[in-house]
Amino acid sequence: MTLALIVLLPFLGCFLPLLTGERGRSLCATATMLAPIIGLVLLWRHVPEVFAGETVVQSWPWLTRVGLNLSFRLDGLGFMFALLIMGIGLLVILYARYYLSKNDPMGRFFAYLLLFMGSMLGVVLSENLLLMMFFWELTSLSSFLLIGYWSHSSDARKGARMALAVTGGGGLALLGGVLLLGQIVGSYELSDVLVAGDIIRAHALYPVVLVLVLLGVFTKSAQFPFHFWLPHAMAAPTPVSAYLHSATMVKAGVFLLARLYPALSDTDLWFFMVSVTGMITLLVGACTALFQHDLKGLLAYSTISHLGLITLLFGLDTRLAAVAAVFHIINHATFKASLFMAAGIIDHETGTRDMRRINGLWRYMPHTATLAMVAAAAMAGVPLLNGFLSKEMFFTETLQQHQFGNFSWIIPLVATLYGVFSVAYSLRFIHDVFFNGKPVNLPKYPPHEPPRYMKVPVEILVALCLLVGLLPAFTVSSLLAVAASATLGGDLPEYSLSVWHGFNLPLIMSIVAMVVGIILYFTRRQLFGWYERLPDLDAKLVFENAIQKLVGRAGQFTLLLENASLQRYMTWMLFAALVVTGFWLVRLPVWQGEVAMSPVDGITLVGALILMVAAGATAIMHRRRLVALIMLSVVGLMVALGFARFSAPDLALTQLSVEVVTIILFMLALFFLPRYTPRTSSRTRSFRDLILAGLAGLLVGGLTFAVLTRPYDTIASFFLENSYSGGGGTNVVNVILVDFRGFDTMGEVTVLAIAAVAIYALVDGLRLRIPDTDMFGRGWARATRPLMLVNLTRVILPLALLVSVYIFFRGHNLPGGGFIAGLITAVALILQYVGSGEQWTTQRWGVNYHHLAGIGVLIAGLTGLGSFAFGYPFLTSAFGYFHFPLVGEVELATAMLFDLGVYLTVVGATLLILANIGKLSGSRTIRETL
Amino acid sequence: MELLYALTLGILTMSGVYLLLRARTFQVVVGLTLLSYAVNLFLLAMGRLHTGMPAVLGKADEYADPLPQALVLTAIVIGFAMTAFALVLALRAQGELDSDHVDGKGDN
CB contact under 8 A, B57 and A723: yes
**In whole angstroms, what is the distance from residue A167 CA to residue A162 CA?**
8
- Is A826 within 8 Å of chain B by CB? no
- Is A648 within 8 Å of chain B by CB? yes
**Ordered alpha helix ranges (H), A126-260:** 129-147, 154-185, 190-194, 197-202, 206-220, 229-232, 238-244, 249-259
Of A616, A745, A767, the CB nearest to B11: A616
pTM for this one? Answer: 0.67
Strand partners, A779: A773
CB contact under 8 A, A708 and B2: yes
Mean pLDDT of A674-700: 85
**In whole angstroms, what is the distance from residue A914 CA to residue A725 CA?**
40
**In whole angstroms, what is the distance from residue A755 CA to residue B84 CA?**
8
The string of pLDDT tens digits covering residues A271-301 is: 989 999 999 999 999 988 988 889 999 999 9
- In this model, does residue A160 exceed pLDDT 80? yes
Label residue B60 left, alpha or beta by phi (over 0 means left) and psi (-120 to 50 means alpha): beta
Strands (E) across A734-807 are located at none
CB contact under 8 A, B44 and A648: yes
Of B1, B21, B42, the CB nearest to A600: B1
- Is A733 within 8 Å of chain B by CB? yes
The string of pLDDT tens digits covering residues A485-534 is: 888 887 788 887 777 777 888 888 889 999 998 998 888 888 888 887 77
The string of pLDDT tens digits covering residues A323-333 is: 999 999 999 99
CB neighbourhood size of A928 (10 A):
8
Instruction: Determine whether A244 is exposed, middle or buried from the number of CB atoms within 10 Å of its CB (0-12, 13-18, 19+).
Output: buried
Of all residues in chain A, the percent with pLDDT exceeding 70 is: 96
Amino acid found at A465: C
The string of pLDDT tens digits covering residues A820-855 is: 999 999 989 888 888 887 778 888 877 888 888 889
How much is the mean pLDDT over chain A? 87
- Is A572 within 8 Å of chain B by CB? no
CB contact under 8 A, B26 and A720: no
What pLDDT shows up at residue A904? 92
CA A56 to chain centre: 34
**In whole angstroms, what is the distance from residue A94 CA to residue A553 CA?**
47
Distance of residue B7 Cα from the nearest chain A Cα, in angstroms: 6
Q: How many residues does chain A have?
A: 930
**In whole angstroms, what is the distance from residue A160 CA to residue A174 CA?**
20
- In this model, does residue B106 exceed pLDDT 70? no
Residue from A39, A44, A37, A34 nearest A13 by CA: A34
**In whole angstroms, what is the distance from residue A388 CA to residue A514 CA?**
12
Describe the crossing of helices A268-290 and A206-220 by its angle, rounded to 10 degrees.
Answer: 20
Residue from A718, A14, A52 nearest B67 by CA: A718
Of A642, A647, A906, the CB nearest to B64: A647
Spatial neighbors of A568 by CB under 8 A, at least 6 apart, are: none
**In whole angstroms, what is the distance from residue A283 CA to residue A527 CA?**
16
Angle subtended at Cα A476 by Cα A250 and Cα A452, rounded to the nearest 5 degrees? 70
Strand partners, A72: A58, A126
Angle subtended at Cα A533 by Cα A531 and Cα A535, rounded to the nearest 5 degrees? 95
Residue from A256, A257, A252, A301 nearest A281 by CA: A301
pLDDT band at A927 (very low <50, low <70, confident <90, very high): very low
If one compares A237 and A892, the residue with the highest pLDDT of the two is A237
Q: Give the dihedral sign, CA A663/A666/A671/A677.
A: negative
What pLDDT shows up at residue A442? 81
CA A890, A892, A897, A898: dihedral to nearest 10 degrees? -110
CB B11 within 8 A of CB A614: no
**In whole angstroms, what is the distance from residue A141 CA to residue A899 CA?**
55
Angle subtended at Cα A306 by Cα A305 and Cα A308, rounded to the nearest 5 degrees? 65
Q: Give the dihedral sign, CA A673/A676/A682/A688.
A: positive
- In this model, does residue A634 exceed pLDDT 90? yes
Mean pLDDT of B78-87: 91
Strand partners, A63: A68
CB neighbourhood size of A562 (10 A):
11
For A327, how many CA atoms within 13 A lie in the half-sphere containing its CB? 28
Q: For A490, which DSSP code? A: S
CB contact under 8 A, A597 and B55: no
What pLDDT shows up at residue A6? 93
Of B85, B90, B91, the CB nearest to A755: B85
- Is A651 within 8 Å of chain B by CB? yes
Spatial neighbors of A393 by CB under 8 A, at least 6 apart, are: A320, A323, A324, A327, A328, A495
Strand partners, A61: A69
What pLDDT shows up at residue A716? 83
What pLDDT shows up at residue A929? 41
Question: 3-state DSSP call for residue B92?
Answer: helix
What pLDDT shows up at residue A605? 93
In this structure, of A307-321, A356-370, A762-776, the range with the lowest mean pLDDT score is: A762-776
Q: For A71, which DSSP code? A: E
Amino acid found at A219: T
Q: Give the ipTM.
A: 0.95
Of A608, A700, A712, the CB nearest to B48: A712
- Is A564 within 8 Å of chain B by CB? yes
pLDDT band at B108 (very low <50, low <70, confident <90, very high): very low
Q: For A888, which DSSP code? A: E
pLDDT band at A926 (very low <50, low <70, confident <90, very high): very low
Helices then strands, each counted (H, E), chain A: 41, 4
What pLDDT shows up at residue A170? 94
- In this model, does residue A384 exceed pLDDT 90? no
Q: How many residues does chain B have?
A: 108
Mean pLDDT of A759-765: 85
Q: Which of A605, A700, A751 to mutate to test the interface with B (most CBs of B within 10 A)?
A: A700
Q: DSSP secondary structure string, A763-778? A: HTT---PPPSB-TTSP
Question: 3-state DSSP call for residue A890?
Answer: strand
**In whole angstroms, what is the distance from residue A253 CA to residue A272 CA?**
18
Spatial neighbors of A549 by CB under 8 A, at least 6 apart, are: none
- Is A702 within 8 Å of chain B by CB? yes
**In whole angstroms, what is the distance from residue A740 CA to residue A743 CA?**
8
**In whole angstroms, what is the distance from residue B7 CA to residue B11 CA?**
6
CB contact under 8 A, B44 and A712: no
Secondary structure element (H or E) that encloses residue A70, with its range: strand A68-74
Mean pLDDT of A435-458: 85
Contacts of A643 in chain B (CB under 8 A): 44
CB A895 within 8 A of CB A808: no
Angle subtended at Cα A577 by Cα A572 and Cα A581, rounded to the nearest 5 degrees? 150
Residue from A296, A306, A351 nearest A156 by CA: A296
What pLDDT shows up at residue A303? 93
- In this model, does residue A925 exceed pLDDT 50? no
Strand partners, A126: A72
CB A570 within 8 A of CB B21: yes
pLDDT band at A817 (very low <50, low <70, confident <90, very high): confident
CA A273 to chain centre: 32
Of A571, A708, A745, the CB nearest to B48: A708
- In this model, does residue B39 exceed pLDDT 70? yes
CB B102 within 8 A of CB B25: yes
CB neighbourhood size of A202 (10 A):
9
Mean pLDDT of A869-896: 73
pLDDT band at A784 (very low <50, low <70, confident <90, very high): low
Mean pLDDT of A547-571: 86
Q: What are phi and psi of A814, to 5 degrees?
A: -135, 165
What pLDDT shows up at residue B103? 80
What pLDDT shows up at residue A930? 40
Contacts of B94 in chain A (CB under 8 A): 672-673, 768
